[in-house]
Amino acid sequence: MTAPLKHSAPITVEVALGDRAYDIIIGRDVLQTLGDRIKALRPGARTAIVSDKTVAKHWLAQTEAALAAAGITSSRIVVDEGEGSKTYAGLQTVSEALIAAKIERNDLVIALGGGVVGDLAGFAAAILRRGVDFVQLPTSLLAQVDSSVGGKTGINSPRGKNLLGAFHQPVLVIADTAVLDTLSPRQFRAGYAEVAKYGALGDEAFFAWLEANHADIFSGGSAREHAIATSCRAKAAIVARDERETGERALLNLGHTFGHALEAATGFSDRLFHGEGVAVGMVMAAEFSAELGMLPPADAARLSHHLAEVGLPTHLQDIAGFAQEGLGDADALLTLMAQDKKVKRGKLTFILLQAIGRATIVDNVEPAPVREFLARQLARKP
């Protein structure tokens, strides 16, 4: 899909969490340095690599070779691709495999994959022997800029997204931009939604830069590393100030309250990738903000236009199978949204926009206007 980047020195972004601080290493072919970095970080540690079947075909052998070159032993645990593995059953499979591999407290779990693998392996590491350290090797754009950073781990419940989990920070993140070359165009676009999110929620200048440079990001030019590093710096700064999402970190959920409900409504299936749900959710959040008089309608249109320009869905009608299968009615979607972790005493919390580059947390939103908004969105003509 992509052309090779010009060689440049890796970029290091620190997540400043005191004695639990860790680095994000960003660059082309930095996967090759994994063994030496782990050897320096955890001398004598054994490792278990958790991956999915698709990623394993491309990158598992190289990961094992990088570890072996540094004299580090490893075992492999390979799960099915997709949200279907991020379940009670998937957690049991990975946890039992880690126990069978005799991974102890001084050893390391390595998450080699996208957001599903990172969340699943990280949660298994968090509960194994009451906590084993882990390393993130994100292989999707979405994971490199979002889910691999910040320590959120977990699995889905049939009742909602990420309802079971733990905060468990990695000890190292290695974001090798070369691995993104094997992503499908759709997977890359889905990850780009999270990149655009950082501009929309807190950095209008970055959003404007994305509007001008997105083609270079998609083609594999030097803009790609800059976009990933800028996104990681934005998230790292927020996580350092609010690790457990008691305040400001909730801003990172722009688009997610709507998006998670849409993922649940589509059965956590390939009908809607997570990043696609975030894209639709961000536009819905912007349009809801505009209806409430918080955001100029032109800003909502600007966000929608940019996401559509790169090929992302922006409205419910763009979701695969909408015309045939629908998404239920407004009450059904509202019920799914009520399972969101940000709900407090039955009242919804939304991340809304005051401008491109300025998001805000709005608590205690009454269900009635949300229901009416959802009904209008569902009735919208394509």
Angle between the N-to-C axes of helices 367-379 and 330-337, in degrees from 0 to 180, rounded to the nearest 10 = 130
Whether 57 sits among the annotated catalytic residues: the reply is no
Which of 130, 345, 366, 381 is catalytic? The answer is 130
Residues in the chain: 382
Distance, in Å, from the CA atom of 194 to the CA atom of 196, rounded to the nearest integer, reads 5
Q: Is 189 noted as a catalytic residue in this protein?
A: no
129 among known catalytic residues: no
306 is catalytic: no
Neighbours of 103 (CB within 10 A): 24
Which residue among 28, 42, 152, 168 is the active-site one?
152
Does 358 qualify as catalytic in the annotation?
no
Closest CA to 157 of 32, 58, 263, 39: 263
> Of the listed 161, 168, 214, 256, which one is catalytic?
256
- Identified catalytic residue from 274, 306, 341, 342: 274
- Tell me if residue 152 is catalytic: yes
List the beta bridge partners of residue 329.
none
Q: Tell me the C-alpha distance between 360 and 372, whole Å.
A: 22
194 catalytically annotated? yes
Neighbours of 332 (CB within 10 A): 16
User: Catalytic residue at 245?
Assistant: yes
Given 168, 260, 271, 341, which residue is catalytic?
A: 260
**Catalytic residue, candidates 162, 214, 253, 287:** 253
Task: Output the six-digit token pair for 347.
Answer: 């009242």
Q: Which of 342, 12, 17 is nearest to 150 (CA)?
A: 17
Q: Among residues 42, 161, 235, 271, which one is catalytic?
A: 235
What's the sign of the alpha-carbon dihedral 8, 212, 195, 249?
positive
Distances (CA, A) of 236 to 120, 171, 175: 21, 14, 14
Nearest-angstrom CA–CA distance, 164 and 21? 24
Secondary structure of residue 314 in the 3-state scheme: coil
Beta-bridge partner residues of 210? none
Q: Is 225 a catalytic residue?
A: no
Per the annotation, the verdict on 249 as an active-site residue is yes
Q: Which of 249, 271, 306, 342 is catalytic?
A: 249
| Residue among 83, 243, 245, 276 flagged as catalytic | 245
Residue 54, both tokens: 């698709």
Question: Which residues are tagged catalytic?
Answer: 130, 152, 194, 235, 245, 249, 253, 256, 260, 274
